[in-house]
Structure 1
Amino acid sequence: MRVSKAKEFTKTFFNIIDLIFYSVLFYYFLNLQYEDYYPVKMEIPNFTQMLNAHYKAFIISVFFWYIIANNTKLYGIEKGTSFFKIILTSSHQVFIFIPVLFTISGLKQLPLFESSNILLFSLLIFIFIVITRLMNRIFFYKEKNNNILFIGKNSRSNEIKDFLLKNKLGNIYEISSSHEEFMSVFDSYVKNNKISKIFIVRFNLLPSDIVKHLLNLCEDYQIEVNIIPYSINDNIVAYGINYIKGIQVLKIKRYPLDEEINKFIKLLVDKLISSFVIVFIMSWLYPILAILIKLDSKGNVLFKQKRTGVNGRIFDCYKFRTMHNDGTNSIKATIINDNRITKVGSFLRKTSLDEFPQFFNVLKGDMSIVGPRPHMISVDEQYSKMINRYYFRYYIKPGITGLSQVNGFRGDMNEENMNDRIRTDIFYIKNWSFLLDIKILVKTFLVVFKGDENAI
């Protein structure tokens, strides 16, 4: 099956022109920085000197641009993409990229760009992306003879046809995949209607002689071939191809974090954030809280508890100690007005500061920054018998914060609350995206600053 050359060309083309525009813009704003913001006595360097001084910042920023673009599907924008989706995708890309620019700029001895210039830089990129994608979209509608043939049909093929017709993406033709009709009709459809693309439903059910004839004819006439697989599971996200001794094997990719690139992005963000917090926050916060905890009550500063991690693996979860140790802390869940909680512990819980040692868990690889909260083993044993698909929440690494927590499903562990937690955790796993993690982190910061009424 031939991959659409036009689609690949479009993707490559936008990768190149975006990189060129970004490079020119980057150099232009560096010149502005030297001219308007750096010390007066500083001589403006030539291009080679500027390149030597800032090439690392440029490479890092470009690297993160394409990492983010993979998540926002920026280079998945096609010629028929709606105006609204172009605006939305471009906004997501630039919105997430702005903090990256601020971070890179702040790491330099002198700021790479002033704050106002970073915002202007981002605005110009946004305008460029929207204009170039809209031009591509307009060009698409001028294309002629975009005739599409469907062989066979099912509910999924009907959805695709409706989309193509609604967006005026081509003229639709249909024929049955039965052997008798197909052999007599297919050739004339291809030749007389100038078919440019075909969609085959249930490809594996076609007889081998039809498959051979179909592919040979499509190759002769340079026709793009697409297959619409049948799935009984609506939760399936995509299919991937594996090769075993040169033989193609179709692999079902059920959820976003089954994708290797998504795993890499989440792992990279985990390591970067946890390292930053440990070096720049925990280095001074830990001693202060340790002194307060010690002055308030007897016992260790840190509390270790066995909890369930990814794939059911047990690990030691770290927290600042917030309770008097009566021997039940590892087996008895916290309740409202729990008399085990210390005065300092109450404050730590309300502000979620007690969770900060878990950044060490993230650095070790036991946890993620965002994910379903890990429960005590006793809680797992209790609720796994009551709630369907309870253990599905351990399909990925547990998190310091999560979608359930920022939606208020934390605190007292009653059955209704736990049902809401599990339902939300499953939604997070099925719908994970880098943007969703960012939203959860932003909500978490707001909760930390104003305090959480549901915390106990």
Structure 2
Amino acid sequence: MAPQANGPVKLLFWSQWAFATAVQVALLFLLAVNKSGDVASYYRVLAIAASITSVPLCVVFHTYSMHNGYLVGIARIGAAWAALVAVLTFSAFVTKTSELFSREVVLEWVIGGYALQALVYVPLQYFFKQLQSNQRFARPSIIVGAGQLAFDLASKLRYERKEAMLGVVALDDEDLYEVENTSRYFPTLGVVSQLRSILKDNDVSRVYIALPAKETDQIEGLYVDLLDANVDVVWVPDFANLKLLNHSIQNLGGMPAIHLNESPLTSSPGAALMKSLMDRTLAVLGVIALSPVLASCAIAVKLSSPGPILFKQRRHGWNGNIIEVLKFRSMKVHEDNQVKQAQKEDPRITRAGRFLRRSSLDELPQLFNVIKGDMALVGPRPHAMAHNDYYSDKIIAYMARHRIKPGITGLAQISGYRGETETLDKMQKRVEMDLEYINHWSLWLDVKILIKTPLTLVSKDIY
């Protein structure tokens, strides 16, 4: 988040930046003294250059955003630090000053500087989040509305955000009766006509308007009435009937813009870059570590039946682009253009192929798809194009699962929705899990899915 946003955000940014800069500069000076007995002038110039250059890089990578989780924040620090090191290295090369610096000092500074910044970041981020939470919820809030949206919002505010939510204000006496007879957990404070006195008597700081868009006149009237009431007014639209995808709200030239459908890879390029770097790095390490397994599988496939070792299938990738997904061939070579998934006791599957499919080892060549950039380690599993054509007009938002790179594993797979989807309901469940993953995507979620994946590799439902 840019440092010019507002007071608390400025405090967060400059405090985090100051601590991070202090520890990396202190480390650089300590290493220089340990190496030569003092801090040479070129090390002092390096410290100044690094401190100044780090400011715009931290802004670009949203390094100290309050919205960052701890893992995402550390990843963003790594990206900004890597960019800073690259800039400084290029500058030293251009100015022909690289020979002035000790390689040992620079290497230890690059590694140790990142480690110290990450170490300082976690407690500071926790402190500022607690401070923001205490300031935000020091005074209570109320909700204007009577439907299910109001009750869902009240539950989230009280139990998830730990907000001091007093209760619900109904629109009129009819709604008041409905609220009192359906809500046992959230007190009814009165009706809209009593709103002013409710705000004054309870020292309310925020009013949430939980009304559907069709109540435009009512919403506008409430907003105008509350302009001089010294309270924050937040409208929570009712989008319950829409299939939202990674939705967000932005300021577009002073106009609020609600993004109903947006790819996580385009809405957050910095986080997407971190995901790509993590995916490709782990994929390369995976290929190296699993090379004996890959070789053994290749030999088994070759000996099992005539035909190629790898099976290439054209599938839809990110944004519907066509990619070739690699797998170890598990079936006999055949011609079959029908939409037909592998089934139990399928005669097309070879003996070696049956083991590869049940253990999911046939998916290992997709590590090369990840390295190439066609796939990710974690994401919606890519279905055959024939399956996409078949299901796209039968399941709402089916093709929306392609708004992010397909993965070797995914939330649907670790949640039990793997293998054959012989009914429309089973495919619907898988698609719902894929959309849930897209809506809640984070690096930490990817890590959790990768950790859980080995526990689901051997399944009786995979043929």
TM bucket, shorter chain:
0.5 to 0.7
Inter-partner Cα distance in structure 2 for 1:131 and 1:328: 62
Change (3 A) 1:100 1:253: same
Deviations 1:379-399 (A, max 9, x none): 446667987765554454422
For 2:233, the aligned partner's letter is V
Change (3 A) 1:239 1:398: closer
For 1:374, the aligned partner's letter is P
| Structure 1 position 225, deviation (Å) | 3.3
Deviations 1:124-163 (A, max 9, x none): 432233334445555678x6xx576766655544566677
Question: Once superposed, what is the RMSD of the aligned Cα atoms?
Answer: 5.7
Q: Which residue of 2 aligns with 1:441?
A: 450
Are the equivalent residues in 1 in contact too, given 2:297–2:328 (CA < 8 A)? Answer: no
Aligned equivalent of 1:206, options 196, 205, 218: 218
Are the equivalent residues in 2 in contact too, given 1:322–1:346 (CA < 8 A)? Answer: no
| Structure 1 position 376, deviation (Å) | 1.9
Deviations 1:48-94 (A, max 9, x none): 34337867995798469735x66x824xxxxxxxxxxxxxx55x556
Aligned counterparts, 1:40-439, within 5 A: 40=35, 44-46=39-41, 47-51=43-47, 62=58, 66=62, 73-74=67-68, 90=70, 92=71, 111-112=107-108, 122-135=118-131, 146=139, 154-157=147-150, 169=164, 197-200=206-209, 202=211, 204-206=216-218, 210=221, 214=225, 218=228, 223-233=231-241, 236=244, 240=249, 248=255, 251=258, 253=260, 257=263, 260-262=266-268, 264-265=269-270, 267-269=272-274, 271-273=276-278, 276=281, 300=308, 302-309=310-317, 313=320, 315-323=322-330, 326-328=333-335, 333-334=341-342, 341=350, 350=361, 352-359=363-370, 362-363=373-374, 367-380=375-388, 391=399, 393-407=401-415, 409-411=417-419, 414-415=422-423, 421-439=430-448
Number of aligned positions between the proteins: 410
Are the equivalent residues in 1 in contact too, given 2:264–2:272 (CA < 8 A)? Answer: no
Q: Which secondary structure does the structure 1 equivalent of 2:365 belong to?
A: helix
Inter-partner Cα distance in structure 2 for 1:319 and 1:163: 43
Change (3 A) 1:373 1:52: same
Deviations 1:80-135 (A, max 9, x none): xxxxxxxxx55x55676698799899999654459888666544432233334445
Q: Percent of pairs identical after alignment?
A: 19
Are the equivalent residues in 1 in contact too, given 2:378–2:410 (CA < 8 A)? Answer: yes
Change (3 A) 1:211 1:229: same
Q: Which residue of 2 aligns with 1:82?
A: none
Q: Which residue of 1 aligns with 2:97?
A: none
Inter-partner Cα distance in structure 1 for 2:417 and 2:140: 51
For 2:379, the aligned partner's letter is G
After TM superposition, the structure 1 stretch with the greater mean CA deviation from structure 2, 268-277 or 100-109, is: 100-109
Inter-partner Cα distance in structure 2 for 1:400 and 1:193: 53
Inter-partner Cα distance in structure 2 for 1:414 and 1:59: 54
Aligned equivalent of 1:18, options 16, 19, 24: 16
| Structure 1 position 212, deviation (Å) | 8.6
For 2:217, the aligned partner's letter is L
| Structure 1 position 353, deviation (Å) | 2.2
For 2:46, the aligned partner's letter is M
Deviations 1:10-45 (A, max 9, x none): 233212212222221222333445566xxx469654
Change (3 A) 1:376 1:148: closer
Aligned counterparts, 1:1-12, within 5 A: 8-12=6-10
Inter-partner Cα distance in structure 2 for 1:249 and 1:101: 30
Structure 2: stretches of 5+ with no match in the other structure: 90-102, 174-189
Are the equivalent residues in 2 in contact too, given 1:64–1:100 (CA < 8 A)? Answer: no
Give the alignment's TM-score, normalised by structure 1. Answer: 0.62
Change (3 A) 1:33 1:315: same
Are the equivalent residues in 2 in contact too, given 1:306–1:317 (CA < 8 A)? Answer: yes
Q: Which secondary structure does the structure 2 equivalent of 1:66 belong to?
A: coil
Are the equivalent residues in 2 in contact too, given 1:321–1:345 (CA < 8 A)? Answer: no
Inter-partner Cα distance in structure 2 for 1:347 and 1:410: 15
Q: Which secondary structure does the structure 1 equivalent of 2:373 belong to?
A: helix
Inter-partner Cα distance in structure 2 for 1:383 and 1:173: 42
For 1:404, the aligned partner's letter is A
| Structure 1 position 370, deviation (Å) | 2.3
